[in-house]
Structure 1
Amino acid sequence: MPVDAELPPQQPIRSVWTRPQRRKREQPSLSREHIVAVALELLDAEGLEALSMRKLGTRLNAGATSLYTHVANKDELLELAVDAVYGEIEPPTPAGRDQWRAAAVSSAQSLRSTFLKHPWMASVVGELGVTQLGPNMARLSEGMLALFETAGLPAGEADFAVSTFAGYVLGMTTSEAAWLTTLARSGQSEQDWVAGLLPAAEEALRDHPQLRAQYAAVRDKDPREVRDEKFDYGLQRVLDGLETRISKP
């Protein structure tokens, strides 16, 4: 292409939040909110692979074409569903230098429990480039920025702190959600699965005493408690690191 050739104008990224809503037909029993609520039920019960406009229409007792009055396609539906999940998370309240850690822990626990309640989010959160545009996600992000700004981080670092904090929480939680999804498909309880794994693990790791000792240490522990302890340990270390950046009055 010649250097001076005119490039086509870049098309804006499409999002359900940035286009005008279509004129709604007279369907009192069918609203965007109801569509999203039923979509969440389907996603929670059967996973991301099961979601389709046709299957959702069947659950709603409505033709797939009638859904397009409210959402243009499956991508828009996922945007709405993802933001509805973020709406279940309580954003932190700015707490100043004395209480910011407690507020951050509460927000992290809320985010974790919500994602574990909706494990399909593990395979969506990193793929949809427009998931940051929804009002609930914006409210949560605004709250996190305000939390770290009022905690006393140096100017310009609040955004980096939010990314570091969210990166840890989401990284741990999406892996945890994926594991629990696999476990659910196996039909076993977590306790039974771990109990069945330990003998094989100890045999396979007989030449690795530290790993063997690690498995032995959790033999009689509730696997959920182990996951909770590991999550909290990492979270506290992330907050320790951020605290070193907070200026003291």
Structure 2
Amino acid sequence: MARPRKPLLSRERIVGAASALVDSEGLGAVSTRRLAAELGVSGPSLYNHFRNKDEILEAVADAVSAKVDLSMFEESDSRDWRTALHDWAVSYRAALTEHPNVVPVLARGPGRRPAALRVADAVFGAMVRAGWPPAQATRIGALMRYFVTGSALGSFARGFVDDEAAYDPCDYPHLGQAHLLAERQEEIDEGAFETGLRALLDGLAAQHETLVRAGGPGHPRVDGP
């Protein structure tokens, strides 16, 4: 039998199969035995590309990070820092909500994942160029990650059941329409994210204005870390 022109297995194929499993069944569905069966290969062959299941899940998470748009942080981009943060947060959340089951891995931080580290580097660099002190730029990056990953972990609207009887007005006088929330999940969740994001950016903009006034345009004064 002639040898195949392409290798039967690659990192990309393994990550693709693992991503499909995570999306459909969750993180617990991934095992080297299950992946080998899905790919039609022997289990040990996976170890030519990954040392263990955790490395595979890290690669799956990094593939999601690679989908996040970072163009707004390029020095050639004309967007101001606030608009850039807004547009990046929207792209970041879109990538996470497309793959919600992998969010717990992403929430642990970038670790050694290349794409995730590029995200962190881009955000930090853009904030420093915008005049934020490095320590505050670090906090902003952390704050944005907390906000975006938190918003992608679950749906507020879907947390209510569609049974009107579950919300007895004697017990919950203000939840008379709660059983209708699930029907408007996307509208409510997207609206909540945008409301929170704009409020967050308003607060940062006020801080930035104070820094600029204290140290001059583009040269905020740094009073400690």
TM range (shorter): 0.7 to 0.9
Whether 1:200 aligns to 2:165 is: yes
Q: What displacement does 1:94 show?
A: 4.7
Q: Matched residues in 1 for 2:153 and 2:46: separation?
A: 30
Structure 2: give runs of 5+ residues left out of the alignment.
Answer: 218-225
Whether 1:170 aligns to 2:129 is: no
| Equivalences, count | 205
Whether 1:212 aligns to 2:192 is: no
Percent of pairs with identical residues: 31
Find the partner of 1:93 among 73, 98, 103.
73
Provide the TM-score with structure 1 as the length reference: 0.72
Q: What displacement does 1:66 show?
A: 0.6
Task: Give 1:102's aligned amino acid.
Answer: T
Q: Matched residues in 2 for 1:126 and 1:154: separation?
A: 25
Provide the TM-score with structure 2 as the length reference: 0.78
Find the partner of 1:81 among 50, 60, 73.
60
Answer whether contact 1:94 1:146 (CA < 8 A) is retained: no
Structure 1: give runs of 5+ residues left out of the alignment.
Answer: 1-25, 181-189
**TM-aligned CA distance change 1:123 to 1:60, over 3 Å:** same
Listed one character per residue, the Cα deviations across residues 105-164 of structure 1 (whole Å, up to 9, x for unaligned) are 11111111111111211332345x7x4211100111111112222232234310011111
Find the partner of 1:104 among 85, 92, 96.
85
Residue of structure 1 equivalent to 2:11? 32
Residue of structure 2 equivalent to 1:230? 192
Q: Matched residues in 2 for 1:212 and 1:54: separation?
A: 47
- Quote the RMSD (CA, aligned, Å): 2.9
Whether 1:61 aligns to 2:40 is: yes
Residue of structure 2 equivalent to 1:12? none
Q: Matched residues in 2 for 1:147 and 1:174: separation?
A: 26
Q: SS where residue 124 of structure 1 aligns?
A: helix
Q: Matched residues in 2 for 1:212 and 1:117: separation?
A: 30
Structure of greater relative contact order (alpha carbons < 8 Å, 6+ residues apart): 1
Residue of structure 1 equivalent to 2:220? none
Q: What displacement does 1:200 show?
A: 2.7
Residue of structure 2 equivalent to 1:6? none
Q: SS where residue 175 of structure 1 aligns?
A: coil
Q: Matched residues in 1 for 2:196 and 2:170: separation?
A: 28
